[in-house]
Structure 1
Amino acid sequence: MEDGKLTVRAVERALDILLCFTDESDLSLTEIAVRVSLHKSTVHRLLASLEGKGFILRDFATDKYRLGFRIWELSANMVHTHDPAMILLPEMERLRDQLDETISLYVCDGLERVRVQAVESNQAIRRVAPIGARLPLYVGASSKILVAFAEPQLLEALMKAHNLPTALERTVFLQQLAEAKELGYATSVEERELGTAAVAVPIYNQAQQLVASLAVSGPSNRLTLAKMKEHAPVLIEAARRMGKMLR
């Protein structure tokens, strides 16, 4: 039994190492050890096992590690026919070309939102949206959408969370959620990042289940409240079309 626990722990640690590369392309042994809070000797052994299976590659010139080709082999076999991020990509590209701003797709994961797809604007000054980024559910246009249009249990859990910022005015937040439900869209201006703004709408599948939040984001001096109000009907119509594509 004890050996089984040790084996599971080793698997969890190996997965934690792989997850270190969600926001970085290459990392040193020390950087990985700090991120997973393990001794370097333990991390080195786990990396050697992952490298042996092709999940990790070591660059001997820089002495840094990066994801191996086995990861791409696995992703190539994903069932994309049911993956909203892949199904909706062509529509997101068309919306990007129409509005000339960055388009993002977010889904809810616990008390966080995850950017599962993004198409960046072609403008020189644009909103950079890395896929896989995890963001809190209590701030931002897409967060408001994912909470406002979700089942009430999500809002209850969010309000009880210990990691809510002390500066969060719950009354204002609840009012913003109510406005989002009334208008069918939500906006944010420099709520999470200085100089950025976003407008978001919900995407429902054919069973009328909330699937994701579709957002347009860009520099706040270009994506003003007036401009976001102008984009909202276009975004709502795009979300309606996208919803019809999802079972």
Structure 2
Amino acid sequence: MTSNNRYMLSSVKNALRLLRSFTLEEPEKKVTDLAESLGLGKSTVSRLLSTLESEGFVIKDEETRKYRLGLSILHLNTVLTSHLEITRESQPVLEQLVNEVEETAHVAQLEDMEVIYVNRVECSHPVRILSHIGRRNPLHCTSSGKVLLAFQGEHKVEQYIDQKGLQPYTLKTITDPEKLKMELETIKKQGYAISIEERMEGVTSIAAPIKDYTGKVKYALTVIGPVHRMNPYHPQMIHKVINAAKEISERLGYWRN
């Protein structure tokens, strides 16, 4: 047993796993659903839910017998996002960018070989897309994911391909490892990535890297919209996205030579 595992409480870990199992697609779940998905006994799940409910982290609907996340989660989210430097520094830049391109913009970061969105400014005519604060998406089929993966180095790229695989989400998803590697090299050279219906049909996006004060790519700025309205290859769009990403980088302390 390692020193880390020695101090790990299984009950706390299971409670956290339970909370993370709620998603936008499945915001409400029954005890049996949770027990099956987590591989735990129903009595264990019931005890965890009762404890979490007492602290406001979950709420039970007495009619449907289903549980959903409680307001205590929202409070923690507010505390976290209000103190995230990237949120503070990117907010005015995102607002200006959305005002100019009239499409929704996000900031994303890499976590556990997935892209997770940490800030978002929505346009006045949004479409239903698979992106929101806290949303996790694959790396190989999203523009933000490809940007973040491109600057991770060959070892990380190989690790992602081996562990995650290149799952096809649409007919346009890149599933050939060599083709993905070639595109990542192109992204590094040109300084931006484009995804057209690779994750979801009818949706396109463009992303550019955001650097921290050390010059390391830590985040990606993304503009996303419907294919019938947004052209990610338009020079003006590319220019605005790259410049906005550079402005956020400078606000984070990166100094361009």
TM superposition score normalised by structure 2 = 0.83
Distance in 1, matches of 2:165 and 2:38, equals: 20
Change (3 A) 1:96 1:83: same
Deviations 1:171-206 (A, max 9, x none): 211121121112111111111111111111000122
Change (3 A) 1:195 1:39: same
Question: Which residue of the partner structure matches residue 198 of structure 2?
Answer: 191
> Any unmatched runs of 5+ in structure 1?
none
Deviations 1:118-161 (A, max 9, x none): 22221264646222121112222112110112244322312332
Determine whether 1:104 maps to 2:106: yes
Question: Which residue of the partner structure matches residue 236 of structure 1?
Answer: 242
Question: Which residue of the partner structure matches residue 180 of structure 1?
Answer: 187
Contact 2:103-2:126 within 8 A present in 1 as well: no
Change (3 A) 1:130 1:238: same
What aligned pairs does 1:3-152 form with structure 2 within 5 A after superposition?
8-23=9-24, 24-78=26-80, 80-123=82-125, 125=127, 127=129, 129-152=131-154
TM superposition shift of 1:5: 7.3
Letter paired with 2:213: Q
Aligned pair count reads 244
TM superposition shift of 1:79: 7.5
Deviations 1:52-97 (A, max 9, x none): 2222222324433222333334344437444313431232122111
TM superposition score normalised by structure 1 = 0.86
SS in 1 for 2:22: helix
Among residues 171, 194, 210, which one is paired with 2:178 in the alignment?
A: 171
Contact 2:232-2:238 within 8 A present in 1 as well: no
Identical-residue share of aligned pairs (%): 31
- Bigger shift: 92-101 or 32-41? 32-41
Distance in 2, matches of 1:175 and 1:78, equals: 37
Distance in 1, matches of 2:87 and 2:109, equals: 10
Change (3 A) 1:52 1:100: same
TM superposition shift of 1:225: 4.5
> Any unmatched runs of 5+ in structure 2?
169-173
Contact 1:55-1:70 within 8 A present in 2 as well: yes
- Bigger shift: 25-34 or 231-240? 25-34
Contact 2:81-2:87 within 8 A present in 1 as well: no
Distance in 2, matches of 1:235 and 1:100, equals: 12
